[in-house]
Structure 1
């Protein structure tokens, strides 16, 4: 299980740069090999780089707040083929509810993990293999691949025998 070290910089009262936070981070949500680990977020307000507030604390919510950002690790375990479609739907529904995102599941016809966020996301697969599932097509990913996700209906699936580990940056956005 990943436990990254996070270093957050800021400035002291004289405006000189320093380290404000230097710590290991524990995963926020663990469901088997499915993990969410919030690293940092912004809320669209002016940033006070003198404070030492840990902006990874609080409930895990999928999307950032209005004009905000999020960076996180997330991992997806391979799907167990013995799980029924009905049970898979229930699992995904509960998972999205747990991260305040049940309203973002607008069309799950193709896959129960399909969702749309009002964000532009930069998502890097750093370990394992995965499939990006879209309404009209799918693409296989290997470690090092980067997806620029622009507010489209999508889902992720681990395609190998091990969990797929991603880093994601989500930026609140508006779309035409």
Structure 2
């Protein structure tokens, strides 16, 4: 079962300052992860500064897939996540380096021999994740939460995975906001200061 394509409308201004439709149609960047068939990233938009420029700039989603948001920026995407298979749960950990490399952040994967799920990962960002269609289980180091349409997860740089234990794909909307770890949390995670001390 495939989910419908995303329809994106981008606005802008003409030379007189009148509001116009700059683009209207399908997303130009939709990428399926080769290492996790059925996992599809639908790149909607990103910003690379705070405050973000309200301009007529070029489409920031063109180019290679990048998992985290830009420094001082945001990233918006939909992700379609297929049901977990027995093969993926048993052998998926060996494919995570390839999966996260294709997603533009090989270092994000935190999977280890004792991880509760092959997709365990972490980014230094605050992420808003909304279940649009289907069901998803949020997996953390010590707990799990079942999510249904309308569920919202505020992911504050924590180690986590998305486990689809249903029989159909789940679509989630994510807005990722660049963040910096609190020094006490960074120390507890034993992260090098070069990761969490952003300049």
Give the alignment's TM-score, normalised by structure 1.
0.91
The runs of 5 or more residues in structure 1 that have no matched partner are none
Alpha-carbon separation, structure 2, partners of 1:81 and 1:151 = 28
Alpha-carbon separation, structure 1, partners of 2:61 and 2:107 = 23
Aligned CA distance change for structure 1 residues 25 and 154 (closer, same or farther; 3 Å): same
Match among 67, 77, 84 for residue 72 of structure 1: 77
Instruction: Give the structure 1 partner of residue 156 of structure 2.
Output: 150
Alpha-carbon separation, structure 1, partners of 2:85 and 2:29 = 22
Deviations, residues 84-136 of structure 1 (Å, cap 9, x unaligned): 62x21122221111112221123542222111111111110011111000011
Deviations, residues 13-63 of structure 1 (Å, cap 9, x unaligned): 122211111111256222432111101111117525234x22221111100
Alpha-carbon separation, structure 2, partners of 1:142 and 1:48 = 34
Say yes or no: does 1:159 pair with 2:165. Answer: yes
Match among 35, 40, 46 for residue 41 of structure 1: 46
Say yes or no: does 1:170 pair with 2:180. Answer: no
Alpha-carbon separation, structure 2, partners of 1:138 and 1:92 = 21
Moved over 3 A (4+): none
Aligned CA distance change for structure 1 residues 158 and 27 (closer, same or farther; 3 Å): farther
Bigger mean CA offset, 132-141 vs 105-114: 105-114
Q: Report how far residue 82 of structure 1 moved.
A: 3.9
The RMSD of aligned alpha carbons is: 1.8
Aligned CA distance change for structure 1 residues 84 and 14 (closer, same or farther; 3 Å): closer
2:135·2:147 contact (CA, 8 Å) conserved in 1?
A: yes
The runs of 5 or more residues in structure 2 that have no matched partner are 183-199
The size of the alignment, in residue pairs, is 174
Give the alignment's TM-score, normalised by structure 2.
0.81
Alpha-carbon separation, structure 2, partners of 1:101 and 1:90 = 16
Instruction: Give the structure 1 partner of residue 134 of structure 2.
Output: 128
Alpha-carbon separation, structure 2, partners of 1:134 and 1:43 = 29
1:28·1:60 contact (CA, 8 Å) conserved in 2?
A: no
| Higher strand proportion | 1
Alpha-carbon separation, structure 2, partners of 1:83 and 1:137 = 21
| Higher helix proportion | 2
